[in-house]
Amino acid sequence: MATALHGGGLGVRDAVFFAIQPPANTVTSIARLTRDLRSKHGLTGRPVPPRCFHSSLLFVGFYGRLPQGMLSAFITAAATVAMPPFRITLDRVTSFRHPQQRPLVLGGDDGVTGLIWLRDRLVAATMDLPGFSANTRNFEPHLTLLRDKQEIDEPVEPISWTASEFVLIRSIHGEGRHVVLGRWKLRG
């Protein structure tokens, strides 16, 4: 079921994407892990605000640049996605390569398979939308904790939860704020 489609100005640089958000008790565990990693490694990068923790599934576009009616088309397509709830387990932190500040992300091996399957279903549901072409390469499920110059790659105590829904998010550029544009329950 979709919620409000609009909120605020044009937001030309606001990113719009499908994602999974962790539940509140898991957000607390992820925030604690982020604090512990900053302390352990002397990281100075600013953490992602806990209210913005998510695992991206599919980038849709930039809010102010989406053609008229495109958000409605994505909402309609998302409503066709059928998949049962699944378990997510993240048990490794690693730094992604980036020219300046490397994203430090939480990821996993077998524990992210459900994210890959859900993404595949979203790509299939949106592939025929006029003017949209999903980027189907290099999908590595993760949850960003912060950005820092240091490179880290190590196992961590697993953080798990059952994903029971996915959302369409508008990330308000420069504000560290997400607006949920649509929400769908996972169902078999």
Asked if residue 149 is part of any domain, the answer here is no
**What does the alpha-carbon distance between residue 93 and residue 106 come to, in Å, rounded to a whole number?**
5
Asked if residue 152 is part of any domain, the answer here is no
Confidence band for 31, pLDDT divided at 50, 70 and 90: very high
Contact by Cβ (8 Å): 18, 57: yes
Higher model confidence: residue 13 or residue 90?
A: 90
User: pLDDT tens digits, residue range 93-118?
Assistant: 999 987 677 899 999 999 999 999 99
Mean pLDDT along residues 14-32: 97
Asked if residue 99 is part of any domain, the answer here is no
> What distance lies between CA 107 and its chain's CA centroid?
12
Instruction: Give the CATH number of the domain where residue 40 resides.
Output: 3.90.1140.10
Asked if residue 20 is part of any domain, the answer here is yes
What is the phi/psi pair of residue 31, to 5°? Answer: -65, -40
**pTM: predicted TM-score of the whole model, two decimal places:** 0.91
**What does the alpha-carbon distance between residue 70 and residue 76 come to, in Å, rounded to a whole number?**
10
**What does the alpha-carbon distance between residue 148 and residue 95 come to, in Å, rounded to a whole number?**
9
Asked if residue 116 is part of any domain, the answer here is yes
